[in-house]
């Protein structure tokens, strides 16, 4: 299989889009047509409705977005029925031609990390994810098992570097010698991305860098020239198209931008409220793609 870095580059080019659609299916926010008369305590029924909802979102955005990002927590809280729903959603996305980045933020050491890596990314993975988010703050030995498996099978590992939440600076911004913790983490990611670099110029190892920190995003783009960036925080968390401009390389590539609530619950927004909920999802994704395409082309022009 081609490397994740190259497959992502090809998908972005094919769809002319850097949109990543986050699947965060909060039960109380789902459309009434999906919830129906389901009792929220009936977990098998909630899981079935959640699966249907996510599959219909995928059908709505598959032509517009190269990547879908299921958030594992919203499936795990539904017990074994939720995990079966997650499996079905992943398979549906793959059949729709989308790359699947599972947002599970795994992180551990030794054989446990190897177990997580094999479970989600390995050759015999039952989940068959294309990439996985990983929390590296136990140390570099907690990341290496994921990197080893990813490089073996051509999967992706997206490492938390500078996250979008307000409290990220508590640890990530601390000074260690001449660099900050997140910069030290970025240097590790860049070394691993360079080592797995494909024809696209990008490797299998990428980084999470929040849109809510545009100055840091620009600096980290320069610090990690061979790493794909996953940029959360767009839309509902306050990040705007201009905030993500620094994440793109001189070709206007190198980053995918995530929106969860802003797309999957678009029908709740005034500008889309008159639409069927699936039409609202499609239009919100299309609008996001257009905004980001304008921004990344402008950003790429400025960097040449």
Q: What backbone phi and psi angles, to 5 degrees, belong to 63?
A: -80, -10
Helix, strand, coil % over all residues of the chain, rounded to 5: 55, 15, 30
Number of folded domains in the chain? 1
Structural domain range at position 265: 4-303
Write out the H or E segment, with its range, that includes residue 30. Answer: none
Q: Residue 126 in contact with residue 98, Cβ under 8 Å?
A: no
Residue listed under structure tokens 């790493």: 227
In the prediction, which pLDDT does 237 show? 55
Q: Residue 96 in contact with residue 58, Cβ under 8 Å?
A: yes
CATH number, domain at 31? 3.20.20.70
CA–CA separation, 78 and 104 (whole Å): 15
Give me the count of residues in the chain. 304
Q: Which residues on adjacent β-strands are paired with residue 205? A: 157
Residue 27 has pLDDT above 60, yes or no: yes
CA–CA separation, 179 and 35 (whole Å): 49
Q: What is the pLDDT of residues 134-144, one digit of tens each?
A: 999 999 999 99
Q: What is the mean pLDDT of residues 4-24?
A: 97
Residue 194 has pLDDT above 70, yes or no: yes
Q: What is the pLDDT of residues 258-295, one digit of tens each?
A: 999 999 999 999 999 888 999 999 999 999 999 999 99
Under 8 Å CB-to-CB from 225, ≥6 apart: which residues?
190, 201, 249
Which residues are known catalytic residues?
A: 105
């Amino acid at each position: 299989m081609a490397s994740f870095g190259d497959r992502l580059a090809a998908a972005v080019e094919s769809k002319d889009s850097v949109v990543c659609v986050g699947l965060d299916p909060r039960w109380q926010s789902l459309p009434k047509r999906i919830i129906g008369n389901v009792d929220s305590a009936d977990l098998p029924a909630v899981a079935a409705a959640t699966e249907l909802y996510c599959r219909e979102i995928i059908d709505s955005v598959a032509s517009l977005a190269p990547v879908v990002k299921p958030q594992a927590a919203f499936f795990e809280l539904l017990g074994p029925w939720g995990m079966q729903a997650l499996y079905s959603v992943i398979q549906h996305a793959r059949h729709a031609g989308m790359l699947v980045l599972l947002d599970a933020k795994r992180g551990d050491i030794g054989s446990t990390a190897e177990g997580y890596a094999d479970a989600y990314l390995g050759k015999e993975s039952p989940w068959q994810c294309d990439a996985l988010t990983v929390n590296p703050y136990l140390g570099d030995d907690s990341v290496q098992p994921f990197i080893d498996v990813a490089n073996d099978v051509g999967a992706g590992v997206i490492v938390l570097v500078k996250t979008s939440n307000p409290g990220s600076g508590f640890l990530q911004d601390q000074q260690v010698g001449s660099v900050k913790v997140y910069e030290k983490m970025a240097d590790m990611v860049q070394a691993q991305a360079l080592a797995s670099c494909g024809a696209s110029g990008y490797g299998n190892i990428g980084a999470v860098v929040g849109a809510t920190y545009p100055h840091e995003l620009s600096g980290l783009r320069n610090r990690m020239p061979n790493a794909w960036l996953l940029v959360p925080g767009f839309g509902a968390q306050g990040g705007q198209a201009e905030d993500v401009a620094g994440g793109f390389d001189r070709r206007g590539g190198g980053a995918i931008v995530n929106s969860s609530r802003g797309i999957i619950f678009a029908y709740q927004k005034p500008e889309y409220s008159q639409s069927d909920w699936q039409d609202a999802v499609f239009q919100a994704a299309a609008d996001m793609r257009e905004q980001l395409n304008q921004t990344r082309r402008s950003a790429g022009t400025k960097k040449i």
